[in-house]
Amino acid sequence: MGEIKSTWELVMEKLKGMEVTQKDRERFQREEEREKAKRLFFPYFQGDERNWNNLKEEFKGLGETGLEEFFRLLSENISLEEGLTERYRKGLETLFGRDGLGRIEELLERYRRRREVEEEALKQELFQAFQKKGIRGTAVDPNPRLHPRWNAVIEEVDGEFRRELREMLEGLPLV
């Protein structure tokens, strides 16, 4: 009777003659760096990890690819509209100090002001469209979020500020 082999043994037999190329090793290393950045980001900024000194030490251990991923995660997960939560505030201050945190908060404030400007502009467009149709009065208060261009305008503003936020994060010195 023949020998029964495990799946692992079958896979190893098939892979026996294959070699991992340098390109594959580099790709695996980049992917591992990305995973390391995710394992660092999520517990501190969205989980319940509280040892902020470890964050700084582990952050210093990230390679170039890991740093890129970490900054991508930060810039995508910070709420532009609502601002920084206490967790984000503490984590950013731990990494970049009060000056860095202040610069990030200034950027978020500029975002809110820009969004208000865009919202008011769309509101005025709607108001003028209503006036052309003969709809006037103090009770007319158009909702700019119903404007056909609302989503496109906000996506453009969000994208612009997220890029600026990421560039800022990449350029801030660690404390």
- Report the pLDDT value the prediction gives residue 87, as an integer from 0 to 100: 95
- Report the pLDDT value the prediction gives residue 18, as an integer from 0 to 100: 74
- Report the pLDDT value the prediction gives residue 158, as an integer from 0 to 100: 97
Average pLDDT over residues 142-148: 91
List the beta bridge partners of residue 2.
none
Question: Would you state the structure tokens that stand for residue 136, as one six-digit string?
Answer: 């006037």
- Report the pLDDT value the prediction gives residue 17, as an integer from 0 to 100: 67
- Report the pLDDT value the prediction gives residue 50, as an integer from 0 to 100: 83
Q: Which tens digits make up the pLDDT trace of 114-124?
A: 999 999 999 99
Average pLDDT over residues 144-171: 95
CB 69 within 8 A of CB 37: yes
Distance between CA atoms of 126 and 161, rounded to whole angstroms?
Answer: 25
- Report the pLDDT value the prediction gives residue 23, as an integer from 0 to 100: 87
- At residue 109, the 3 state secondary structure works out as helix
Q: Which of 37, 57, 53, 42 is nearest to 88 (CA)?
A: 42
The pTM for the full model equals 0.81
Q: Which tens digits make up the pLDDT trace of 5-59?
A: 778 777 777 777 677 688 888 998 999 999 999 999 999 999 988 889 899 999 9
- Report the pLDDT value the prediction gives residue 6, as an integer from 0 to 100: 77
- Report the pLDDT value the prediction gives residue 65, as an integer from 0 to 100: 96
Q: Which tens digits make up the pLDDT trace of 75-120?
A: 999 999 999 999 999 999 999 999 999 999 999 999 999 999 999 9
Distance between CA atoms of 108 and 126, rounded to whole angstroms?
Answer: 27
Question: Would you state the structure tokens that stand for residue 82, as one six-digit string?
Answer: 């609502």
Quick check: 147 pLDDT over 60?
yes
